[in-house]
């Protein structure tokens, strides 16, 4: 590893950790950085998931006060995330992702549009007499889909999960972000075990990214709590559109 390669993956991982704790989309920084220094695509994808795992944990820890109100709600969602993450990780190791990669920009576009209009759609679906969001079959199914996607590729998982949670009835963007960080941490945890057991990780770069991504994750979560909800929502939508455009470009 040369100095510029170490600097590139380290800075990219810090930005990725911060982005994931704020709105998702951190893979937009870290995955291309691994490709740029010569790591093969599948190994880069696996290494990226391992590197961002502690960052997801630190981001969830920063939101521990918000999460303490949803213990009963989070247990079923966590179980679904655990199972879906395993399924997605095994799917990546067993299949070629060339065909699936063509679907990524469409998934991101769909998720971003859903999140942008989630308030109106959620109110229409739940009706005026609905209470707090709960573990409905729809919300669990949505989380299962997001978990499989996150275990398989991960890019845009945060945006998809934000949209899914908003559609499930969560209307506080900071609350959504807190739950997203915890469930993302669970998905990353199980995919890490899967990729490490399969020997698919490039450890020299991964160890560098582990340290800087963790710092970025905690810093990003701390900053996100100080951002007005409207600004954060607009930022999330902007990130989703940028990711969509980037992956549409990649498929050309």
- Residue-wise pLDDT for 150-189, tens only, equals 888 777 787 788 888 887 777 777 788 888 889 988 998 8
Q: In terms of pLDDT, which residue wins out, 145 or 102? A: 145
* pLDDT, averaged across the chain: 82
24, pLDDT greater than 70: no
Q: What does the alpha-carbon distance between residue 160 and residue 109 come to, in Å, rounded to a whole number?
A: 10
User: What single string gives the DSSP state of each residue in 123-180?
Assistant: HHHH-TT--S----HHHHHHHHHHHHHHHHT-TTHHHHHHHHHHHTT---HHHHHHHH
């Amino acid at each position: 590893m040369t100095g510029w390669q170490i600097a590139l993956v380290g800075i990219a991982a810090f930005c990725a950790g911060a982005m994931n704790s704020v709105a998702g989309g951190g893979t937009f920084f870290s995955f291309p950085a691994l490709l740029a220094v010569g790591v093969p695509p599948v190994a880069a994808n696996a290494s990226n998931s391992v590197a961002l795992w502690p960052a997801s944990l630190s981001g969830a820890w920063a939101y521990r006060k918000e999460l303490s109100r949803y213990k009963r709600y989070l247990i079923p969602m966590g179980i679904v995330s655990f199972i879906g993450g395993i399924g997605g990780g095994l799917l990546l190791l067993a299949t070629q992702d060339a065909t699936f990669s063509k679907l990524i920009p469409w998934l991101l576009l769909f998720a971003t549009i859903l999140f942008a209009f989630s308030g109106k759609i959620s109110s229409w679906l739940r009706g005026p007499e609905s209470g707090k969001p709960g573990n409905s079959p729809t919300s669990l199914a949505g989380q299962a889909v997001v978990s499989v996607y996150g275990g398989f590729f991960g890019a845009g998982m945060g945006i998809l999960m934000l949209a899914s949670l908003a559609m499930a009835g969560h209307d506080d963007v900071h609350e959504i972000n807190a739950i997203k960080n915890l469930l993302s941490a669970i998905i990353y945890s199980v995919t890490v075990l899967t990729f490490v057991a399969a020997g698919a990780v490039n450890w020299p770069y991964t160890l560098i990214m582990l340290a800087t991504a963790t710092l970025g994750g905690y810093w990003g979560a701390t900053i996100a709590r100080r951002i007005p909800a409207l600004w954060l929502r607009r930022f999330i939508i902007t990130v989703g559109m940028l990711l969509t455009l980037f992956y549409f470009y990649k498929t050309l």
